[in-house]
Structure formats: structure tokens, C-alpha cells
Amino acid sequence: MGLDTTSMGGSFVGTKLTEAINWARKYSLFQYPFVTACCGMEFMATACSHYDISRFGAEIPRFSPRQADLLFVVGTVSHKLAPVLKKVYEQMCDPKWVVSFGACASSGGFYDNYCTVQGIDTIIPVDVYIPGCPPRPEAVLDALMLLQEKIQNAQLDRRSVG
């Protein structure tokens, strides 16, 4: 956007502008579902009409990381897959957020073994964790609202203004 609101400091205009941009951002999240395992079923349930994730402005999955700003890591990530996850994350443009969906993505779950990444936060930064194996759709929506809160309260800096 080429806006440098940091230079406006805490001025009235700067603050209001930040609020407006954050407000717009939090209601237009384009997700990239990185779905690897059983948690995907709950993700689909959340995305479909019954729970209707579009009420939160995040209904459109993009299957190219370049078109997405929210990475949903859904399921078990193995060490063999880890480089792919990292690459997908790095291909996304700033500003970007990551949700770790379920016990496996957050901590490796019960796969405390030779092949499973013990939490994706060991390889990429994570904004919101959703507990559960798998999480209920309500928990996913709760996480989405937490993320929106985080986005609304974010300070714009060079990185996030892009």
C-alpha cells in the first residue's frame, strides 16, 4: 500500500487509519488450508454451511499461497513434509498469519516419534493455536475471532503495510 503510518506516530489520523486498515483486513482473510490429516474433516465442517465460516469473512480458500494471507495448518506434519510447509509459508506475502489447527500441528499430538514435527511453531511462527483432537468447529471459529482481535489490535509497521 506504500503507506508509512509509523511515521505518523500516535497521531489521531495515524491511529484512525490503522484502525480502518486492520478492520478491513480482519474481515477479508483468504486462507490457504494446508491439510494433511484427520483434522481436515473438522476444517471442512467449519467451512461448510452448517458452521459457515463466511460469517467471519474468511470463507474463500485459495490454493495458491501467493493469494492467501492466512495459513491454516491442519493435521500432522512429518519431517519429510516440513520443508514444503516452510516453503508455502515463505511464499505468502506479508501481512500473513498462521493458525495451528489441532493437537498434531500444535505439538505433534500423540506422535512423539521419529517422523513427526513436534509442533509447527518449531519451524514457522504461529499466531493462534487450536487445541483438540480434532477441535470442534466452535473452537475453530473461536480461534478465528481471536485472530481477528489480534489483527485489529496490531500496530502497522513497514512489514505489515508492505
Closer residue to other proteins (CB): 19 or 94: 94
Q: Taken in order 82, 85, 87, 90, is the CA torsion positive or negative?
A: negative
Q: How far is the CB of 125 from other proteins (least distance, A)?
A: 7
Q: Which three cell numbers stand for residue 135?
A: 477441535
Alpha carbon 24 to its chain's center? 16
- Pick one of ligand SF4, other proteins, none as the site partner of residue 80 (Cβ within 5 to 8 A by kind): other proteins
Does position 117 bind other proteins by CB under 8 A? yes
List the single partner that 37 binds among other proteins, ligand SF4, none, CB under 5 to 8 Å by kind: ligand SF4
**Quick one: what does residue 79 bind among ligand SF4, other proteins, none, with the CB cut-off 5 to 8 Å set by partner type?**
other proteins
User: Which one-letter amino acid corresponds to residue 95?
Assistant: P
| Stretch (H or E) spanning 45 | helix 39-47
Q: In angstroms, rounded to a whole number, what is the distance separating the alpha carbons of residues 74 and 99?
A: 8
Cis, bond preceding 65 (omega within 30 deg of 0): no
Tell me how far apart the alpha carbons of residues 72 and 3 are, in angstroms, rounded to a whole number. Answer: 28
Question: Could you count the other beta carbons within 10 Å of the beta carbon of residue 113?
Answer: 9
Beta carbon nearer to ligand SF4, 17 or 81: 81
Residue numbers at the binding site for ligand SF4 (CB under 6 A):
37-39, 75-76, 102-104, 109, 133-134
Among 1-9, 67-75, 118-126, 140-148, which window interacts with other proteins (CB under 8 A)? 118-126
Give the number of other Cβ atoms within 10 Å of residue 120's Cβ: 26
55-114 positions binding other proteins, by CB under 8 A: 79-80, 82-83, 86, 113-114
For other proteins, the closer CB: 16 or 87: 87
Give the footprint of other proteins on this chain (CB under 8 A). 79-80, 82-83, 86, 113-115, 117-118, 121-125
